[in-house]
Structure 1
Amino acid sequence: MRQTWRWFGPADKVSLEAVRQAGAQGIVTALHHIPTAQEWTIGEIRKRQVIVRGPDDAPTGLTWDVVESLPVSEDIKRQTGPWRDHIAAYKRSLASLAACGIETICYNFMPVLDWSRTDLHYVVPHGGHAMRFDLVDFAAFDLFVLARPGAADDYGDALKEEAAARHAAMDEAARTRLAANLTAGLPGAAEGWTLDSLRDQLALYDAIPAERLRAHLVDFLSEVVPVAEELGLRLCCHPDDPPFPLLGLPRIVSTEADYRFFLDAVDSPANGVTLCSGSLGVRPDNDLPGMAQRLGDRIHFVHLRNVRRQEPVDGLRRSFFEDEHLAGETDMVATIAALHAEEARRRALGRRDAEIPMRPDHGQDILDDIGRGGQPGYPAIGRLKGLAELRGVMTALRHPLWGGA
């Protein structure tokens, strides 16, 4: 697999020089400064490519390999307002990316919140920090801070009692911090939500059940996938993070069956999967090595990270934290082995996309990461450690001693 690194642009506290020293070969980035639904022009894309490549007298050795993300507007997801204009702009952005030689585009179809964590600096046993989703804290936020209408119907009695006690024990600073963590918005983007604007956004989804949102995803793909296929691009949908319903919002990309539905509905090699072992691994019914094998033909991009599931559990929902890459509950060696087998199959077929780009997703803050104030989940040293561990697994699996090529 091609080893890549997510980089949030010139304001990222992890420099491109540091990325190269970590051993990454390519960059995963996006034009976060361009508002959602606005067209990405060739000029703006090339500006970022020049920065990634570096000056002629001091090249970084890096290339912009994957877009993460070309965002899908809320209007497209709801099919409201100027959503058709937004799709037209999306198609023009795809054409611009193709003109600049960037072929892999990651996106997601999560309503309102692109990811959700209650604690961005959870202290793990070795003293480092990790991101965590605490189900009790989340319920306390939903029931008592956000005070979402109908929230009480979404939780069991035991969890509601525990959430009430947790909320009562919080001081105002803790409540404010919890709200800030849950309304932060997409990593790398400038915008987030206030409590009032979040309530307004949630209300716009009151009449959109999962079945309707799923139909809207198919409508979106029916428009953009033919364009991507003609341009030689690969679109790959990131799963829900976490992979269960939150705040009354539907989640439609949480399981292998969810992926299979829209892959079959718009059957094209350009319509693919971002296999995120961390997001999908929160659910114990998601078999990551098996998914890597069965969905392998359509996997265009891979995020490798691990999670540790925790109590309490309420239906599909559960607490979890982001563990070390080779710890946690996903069998990372088996998952990578399945992906290597898919790459070998592609090479035998002569596919241009035989090498699948991967990145070490997230990472724990360790050593000098702590206190640096970097993007939550994206530390320098924690990801370097993760990439080194994953590279070690990949190297071992390729070794002739173990039957590798």
Structure 2
Amino acid sequence: MIEGWRWYGELDRITLPEIAQTGAASIVTALHEIEYGAVWPREVIARRKAQIREAGFGWTVVESLPIHERIKRGEGDLSGLFASYRQSMANLAAEGIKVICYNFMPLLDWTRTDLTAPVRRGGTCLRFSVHKMAALELYMVERPGAEADYAEDVKVAAKAWFDAASDTERDGLVTAIMAGLPGAYPRYDAVGLKEALAPYRGLDREALRANYKRFLDEVIPAAEELGLSFGVHPDDPPRDLLGLPRIVSTADDIGWILSACDSRANGLTLCTGSLGANPVNDVPAIARRFAEKIPFAHLRNVTRDPDGSFEEAAHLQGDTDMPAVIDALLREEARRRSAGRLDADIVFRPDHGHELLGDAARRAHPGYPLIGRMRGLAELRGVIAGLQFRAPAA
């Protein structure tokens, strides 16, 4: 497996020389400064690749080549947006990029309600609290129909939090929810978020699936011709939010996506944290079931609460059996090698991480501290080494 590290380019407070000290071999990045829907120019991709190479890294995975919201909504004439997306794909392929990670979450990317929840032995982590999300929907955005989406005890807790929260705490909740949007993407306050939801009115699961199928039909044939592999990132969290459907949340969802466009280029970014936040998901089983379609992996762990809340755990703690997941990926790599494939190695990165020691002072992108992720990478590296050197089965 190839050790990767997510880097936000010039927007990142962590430098490439610092990343080199973690031992990671491959940078996972994107042109976050380019607005959604615009073509990624080849010369800009080439400059970024040269910068990464000069620092001693490879660059084979883009995360992400974002999908314009009009495509997700199926709104208007989309031919220009699809053409631009395919041109960006061609420019990436021309510079030797092999894997494109993307998601199909409407409006929001990964979503948390707390960016600095305390960790028992010190440090902080990302957290998603169901009652705070309910407070946002019920009392700040005032989404029609939100009452039906939450249990009574959650609504009681939401009202108590809202009544006790200061304006600063309420604003902080919205800021946390917006933090998952990378790069050139608008952020909203509560009023703006309410307005941003309006164009999605009436977008149900079936409609979003139809729009997703069209996206796959438009880009996967081109990916095949260009030698690219696509890996869809699961929904984070794997549940409907703000009345918007999430359609990449379970093993059945993944099965539908991979069969909707039957191609080796149509694959899965295995995110153990996103999938692990849904108690119905057996993440090691998902890794084994879809192993041949996994070009890229995010390895992290979460601890779930009974009400559906969860928080980021240390990489080898939490509710997902991480060694079992890694074992599935290593076995898939071995299968690929035995089949003579040149792309046998799976790039992975330590996803998210606790803010530890001096991380907080650096003020890196939420969820992406230096020391916390380095700890996670070291732990994952140890599991991989242990499994690689295990005694052969009798």
- Compute the TM-score of the two structures, normalised by the length of structure 1: 0.95
Q: Which residues in structure 2 correspond to 1:5-404 (within 5 Å)?
A: 5-54=5-54, 60-189=55-184, 191-311=186-306, 313=307, 318-399=308-389, 401-403=390-392
Pairwise CA distance, 1:290: 0.9
CA offsets 1:73-115 (integer angstroms, 9 cap, x no match): 1100111134221111000000000100001000000000111
- Residue 369 of structure 1 aligns with an amino acid whose one-letter code is D
| 1:113-163, Cα deviation, whole Å (9 max, x unpaired) | 111100000001011110000111111111111222222222222221221
CA apart distance, 1:189: 4.3
* Residue in 1 that maps onto 2:2: 2
Once the two structures are superposed, what CA deviation does each residue of 1:230-288 show, in whole Å capped at 9, x if it has no partner?
11000110000000111100000001111110211100000000000000000121111
Give the secondary structure class of the aligned counterpart of 1:130.
strand
SS in 2 for 1:307: strand
Instruction: Map Cα deviations across residues 284-322 of structure 1 (whole Å, 9 max, x no partner).
Output: 2111111111101101110000000114x2xxxx11000
Alignment check: 8 A CA contact 2:36 2:184 kept: no
Once the 2 structures are TM-superposed, how far is the Cα of residue 185 of structure 1 from its aligned partner? Answer: 4.6
Aligned counterparts of 1:40 and 1:370: Cα–Cα separation in 2:
33
How many Å separate the matches in 2 of 1:16 and 1:274?
24
Could you tell me how far apart the structure 2 residues matched to 1:185 and 1:193 are?
A: 12
Whether the aligned pair in 2 keeps the contact of 1:185 and 1:191 (CA below 8 Å) is no
2:65 and 2:100 in contact (8 A); partners too: yes
Q: Take 2:368 and 2:184, find their aligned partners in 1: how far apart are those partners? A: 14
SS in 2 for 1:218: helix
Q: CA deviation at 1:196?
A: 3.0
Counterpart-to-counterpart distance in 2, 1:156 and 1:329: 23
Offset at residue 39 of structure 1 (A): 0.5
For structure 1, which segment, 156-165 or 100-109, has the greater mean C-alpha deviation from structure 2 after superposition? 156-165
In structure 1, distance between residues paired with 2:357 and 2:179 = 25
The residue type equivalent to 2:370 in the other structure is A
For the Cα contact (< 8 Å) 1:243–1:280, is it kept in 2?
yes
1:23-60 alpha-carbon deviations (Å, 9 max, x no partner)? 10000000011100000111110111122122xxxxx2
Structure 1 residues 306-362: Cα deviation after superposition (integer angstroms, max 9, x where no partner): 000114x2xxxx110000000001000010001100000000111122001100000
Q: Distance in 2 between matches of 1:11 and 1:161?
A: 40
* DSSP 3-state at the match of 2:148: helix
**3-state secondary structure, aligned to 1:32:** coil
Number of residues paired by the alignment? Answer: 393
Partners of 2:36 and 2:185 within 8 A in 1: no
Given residue 163 of structure 2, which amino acid in structure 1 is its aligned partner? A
Amino acid at match of 1:30: A
Does the residue aligned with 1:122 lie in a helix, a strand or coil? strand
Is contact 1:396-1:402 (8 Å) kept?
no
- Flag structure 1 segments of 5+ consecutive residues without an equivalent: 55-59
User: Which segment is superposed worse, 106-115 or 11-20?
Assistant: 11-20
The one-letter amino acid paired with 1:102 is I
Contact 2:231 2:269 in 1 (8 A): yes
* Identity in percent: 50
CA contact (8 A) 1:188 1:375 kept: no
Alpha-carbon distance between aligned partners in 1 of 2:149 and 2:283, rounded to the nearest angstrom: 28
8 Å CA contact 1:145–1:179 kept in 2: the answer is no
| Aligned residues of 2:34 and 2:184 also touching (Cα < 8 A) | no
Q: Secondary structure at the match of 1:242?
A: coil
Q: Any unmatched runs of 5+ in structure 2?
A: none
**2:90–2:226 contact (8 Å) kept in structure 1:** yes
Give the Cα–Cα distance (whole angstroms) in 2 for the partners of residues 110 and 121 of structure 1.
24
Counterpart-to-counterpart distance in 2, 1:191 and 1:16: 27
Decide whether the 8 Å contact of 1:28 with 1:65 is kept in 2.
Answer: yes
The whole-number CA distance in structure 1 between the counterparts of 2:349 and 2:136 is: 32
Q: Distance in 1 between matches of 2:352 and 2:182?
A: 11
The secondary structure found in structure 1 opposite 2:102 is strand
Q: Distance in 2 between matches of 1:193 and 1:47?
A: 32
CA–CA distance in structure 1, aligned partners of residues 11 and 198 of structure 2: 34
CA distance in 2, matches of 1:123, 1:189: 30
Mapped to 2, the partners of 1:172 and 1:202 lie a distance apart of 22
